[in-house]
Structure 1
Amino acid sequence: MLMLLLGLAPLAWAEQGEAARAWEDEPGVVGELARQAASEGARIQDFYALRDYRPAWQDADAVAAFTSALHTLESDGLHPQDYRPDELRSRHRAVYDDGADVEAQAQYDLFATRQLLMALDHLQRGKVDPEALETGWEVPVAPPDYSFAAVSGAVDQQRFEALIGEVRPDFVPYQRLRSGLARYRNIEKLGGWPRLPEREQALRPGDVDEDVPLLRERLAVIGELEIMMADNDIFPGGEFEAPDPRRYDASLEAAVKRFQRRHLLEADGIVGRQTLAALNVPVERRIDQIRLNMERARWLLHGLPESFVLVDIAGYRLNYYRPDGQIWRSRIVVGRPYRRTPSLRSEITHLTVNPTWTIPPTIKREDVLPKVRQDLGYLWRERIQVLSPSGAPLDPWEIDWDNPGNIVLRQAPGPQNALGQLVIRFPNEHMVYLHDTPAQDLFSREQRAFSSGCIRVENIRELGQLLFDDTNSGHDVERRIEGGETQNVRLAHRMPIIIHYWTVNPGDDGELSFRPDIYERDDALLRALDRPLTL
């Protein structure tokens, strides 16, 4: 097994330079490689210094094995042509079959190594730079984690597929996405699925309709429904009658509900406008969705700690992976499309019980002030205090609400507080957090993008107590809330938290759920993922 996770510490710059200068005096391609490598980046220099500047790509069989292995990257949603397999083969022939000089041989060797390392980097950490693509990105991008010793050995032994297999992300969600990609590509090869015609009337259980056989076929293609003969109806005379294939029966209703749940639609069994639109998304689009969410997984799901909180924005779910291996799950409400919840990676430091809420400037300007201008009593009903920037109380009747100036609006603690009675906090530049809410009815919706960027968590008191218990903090959430005092209570140990955006999610059963792209991020990522690389 290749020891790719050991890593190779870069050579000190001075030592590296001395080594390169020593090899520059060597005759032939070794000396030329040392000379040319000196103008490359540190990683290329490290690779060749490890090999004592011995060329890696003189053997045509090694090039053939590498270019063949590049095609396995299709299973990861990457484009093998990005890494120039055709040019690798043609340039090798030109350099070695035609007897090119050592300068050209060294240039080719460096070119081939750049393609290899770039392919491995993209496979492990992603091709697209998320910071250049998503505004508000606050996740440190980890460097690739594999050793050049293992890479060098794989080149010499022509074990490229094994090398790719070792570098490939090994976390379960990624492997499930990869399996799903293979499955949906097979569906594409078999012709995809049928498109249902547009309808003025929704298709409901019990209907007899010409579109029902097509609906049955559509769901059978993805495995939601097995095509089989339903039980024959027995009539008093003992005669049997075959079921009408146009009838929307109970088995089809159950399949439609499963489909709706996997697409975050209301699971009512009615094929209305939204369900019909989801059914008619072509398989090619679903394949692209899987590919771009594999890229998101490569950005983020590496170096995961044993225990952490994972917030799935587009899926409206929170999972807490506890130290004992159990998973605590909850529904969440996330930011509206115009007040997006950011992607970030941080650590939970403390909880606030019975919080006050200092209303943020945007919410104050766009939501609260228009209501106050219409009815000053809104402040009393919502228990909102008016304060100066230094915190001194102000008389609301003396404020010019058309031009209130630099005032602070703060909601008093209590069950009606917008943050509820508990907040879970973690440092981040966006000032978002997990919190309770008095608007519990929103958790019953299938799609829950209603907040101003922070994340409302159903049953957050239970989560807070688990965090205290699992970090040996020794606090009782309910007792502190009942005390009525606003308090910040620190965890004894920080708990990692990851907040991210997936529009495809593999379930525990391996089946894929496709979510609406509420923040309209998919298309930009797909364009970047499919954009050919340039030298």
Structure 2
Amino acid sequence: MRTSRRLFLSGASALAVAMVANAASAQDVIDDILKSSARGNWDDQFDARASEGGKVASTLPIFSLQTVAFTEQAVAQYQNIVAQGGWEEVPATKKLQLGVDDPDVVPLRKRLIIAGDLAQSAGISTSFDSYVDAAVKRFQTRHGLPADGAMGKYTYAAMNVSAQIRLGQLQTNLERLREKAGTLGSRYVLVDIPAAQIEAVENDRVVLRHTAIVGKIDRQTPVVNSKINEIIVNPYWNAPVSIVRKDIIPLMRKNPDYLKDSHIRLFAPDGSEVDPMNVDWSTDDAEKYRFRQDPGSGNAMASVKINFPSPDGVYMHDTPQQSLFGKMMRFDSSGCVRVQNVRDLVTWILRDTPGWDRQHFEATIKTGENTPVQVVNPVPVHFLYLSAWSTGPGVVQFRDDVYALDGAQELQITSAL
């Protein structure tokens, strides 16, 4: 955390020097962004991605050398924006949306033009027309927000982070990119924690992309660099002490049948099974027991667990709570990573493991039997923290700095609302 804050502050210092050096010669930032050919590229990429649904819309890995180059361009773009005075706040007093005519649309249009989301030719007016609607959706997409085109509280909050703060965020994350890009291997799994997104990468191309659920602010998913060496089909779930202490014991005090209803069995240190009715739940003595949930549809890990060595004891897994993947804020776990469409990822991981094609994998799930599988050619897995990057000329991505590692309080947007 201290390193990230130093990077942010050093970036701010560099910005001050750049502003003095560049202010006299900087071009009009609006013309610089919107009169370039990159504008058309952004339109094409946005429209293509909007129609792709859950498919891999871009095969560019987030931690690629090309991403580094694009992010360096984004830093230069935002230095220019800051040198020109940045952008004004958009009044967050109304839920502006398509069809509205309101004076507050004027500063909204200006803000969207400066960032390159709205073409300068759209002009400045009070009308929230289809051009503004599309521009707001572009902005929301770049910030990991639901692209509904409506100006709600999260969109306003993201839009009103200053250009200087965004520049510092880009510079901080550029250092993270430079450190890891091109070093992760030819075949690997990447979890970007702030984006709550997973990439399966092979030969510098994303072959699968998955929505993830990562750790809560008070139960953070750690940075991990390891290798996936085991898949467990129909896993047992052994509750970690933190969950026993914070969740299970309080639940048992309220509902003595909770363990039975959840198919969780209790075991003493010697391995013998213990009747929950013989435990004094008013004390913390229950922490000495092992809480194991049987395989099944109600299991906390559902059909599969992805294992790898980790000093923090984290892993990846399926979940019976599939609706959580549809949430905007997917920071809801106790540190492990839940994977949407996890069976696709596991099939890819087990590609080189004899006898474990998709058909056999699915058949094993149906048996309900706990089945460990050793992965032939273990696959590198990386949990990394990247909250700002660029995916192409003029296409700058920002995510909420959910764990407060970027050095500016203004970037913890969703946790503050």
Residues 348, 178 of structure 1: alpha-carbon distance in 2 compared, 3 angstrom cutoff: same
Amino acid at match of 1:505: W
SS in 1 for 2:97: coil
Matches within 5 A, 1:121-136: none
What code does the residue aligned with 2:116 have?
Answer: G
Residues in 2 aligned to 1:483 and 1:508: alpha-carbon distance in whole angstroms: 46
TM-score by length of 2: 0.79
Residue in 2 that maps onto 1:292: 172
1:394-473 alignment, distance < 5 Å: 394-403=274-283, 404-405=285-286, 406-469=288-351, 471-473=352-354
Structure 2 partner of 1:504: 388
Matches within 5 A, 1:232-247: 245-247=125-127
Percent sequence identity is 35
Partner of 2:101: 208
Q: 1:303 to 1:221 in 2, by over 3 A?
A: same
Query: Does structure 1 conserve the Cα–Cα contact (< 8 Å) formed by 2:73 and 2:393?
Result: no
Structure 1 residue ranges without an equivalent (≥5)? 1-75, 82-168, 231-243, 526-535
Structure 1 counterpart of 2:374, from 490, 501, 504: 490
Counterpart AA for 1:480 = T
Which residue, out of 190, 196, 204, partners 1:310? 190
Partner of residue 186, structure 1: 80
Structure 1 residues 352-361 or 246-255, which shifts more? 246-255
Q: What amino acid is aligned across from residue 402 of structure 1 in structure 2?
A: S
In structure 2, distance between residues paired with 1:324 and 1:262: 22
Following TM superposition, by how much is the alpha carbon of 1:508 offset from its aligned partner in structure 2, in angstroms?
A: 5.3
Q: Is the 8 A contact 2:165 2:408 kept in 1?
A: no
CA, structure 1 residues 508+435, in 2 after alignment: closer, same or farther (shift >3 Å)?
Answer: farther
1:486 and 1:346 map into 2 onto residues whose CA distance is 24
Residues 508, 411 of structure 1: alpha-carbon distance in 2 compared, 3 angstrom cutoff: farther
Aligned length: 349
Instruction: Give the gaps of 5 or more residues in structure 2.
Output: 1-9, 16-62, 410-417
Q: Is the CA contact (8 Å cut-off) linking 2:64 and 2:204 kept in structure 1?
A: no
CA deviation profile, 1:508-533 (whole Å, cap 9, x unmatched): 566111111110111189xxxxxxxx
Do the aligned partners of 1:336 and 1:451 also contact (CA within 8 Å) in 2?
A: yes
Does the CA contact (< 8 Å) of 1:468 and 1:474 recur in 2? no
RCO higher in structure (CA 8 A, sep ≥6): 2
Report how far residue 281 of structure 1 moved: 1.2
Letter in 2 for 1:197: P
- Larger strand percent: 2
Does the 8 Å contact 2:233/2:372 carry over to 1? yes
CA-based RMSD of the aligned residues comes to 2.4
Aligned partner letter, 2:229: T
- Which residue is equivalent to 2:48? none
Q: What SS is found at the alignment partner of 1:287? A: helix
Task: Provide the C-alpha distance between the structure 2 equivalents of 1:216 and 1:465, rounded to a whole number of angstroms.
Answer: 46
Segments ≥4 residues shifted beyond 4 Å: 76-81, 323-326
The Cα of 1:464 is off from its aligned counterpart by: 0.4
| Larger gyration radius, structure 1 or structure 2 | 1
2:220 to 320, 324, 340: 340
C-alpha spacing 1:358/1:170, structure 2 compared with 1 (3 Å): closer
Structure 2 counterpart of 1:217: 110
For 1:173 and 1:367, the matched residues in 2 are separated by: 41
Return the TM-score normalized by structure 1: 0.62
Cα distance between partner residues in 1 of 2:14 and 2:143: 31
1:472, CA displacement in angstroms? 4.1
2:117 maps to amino acid: E
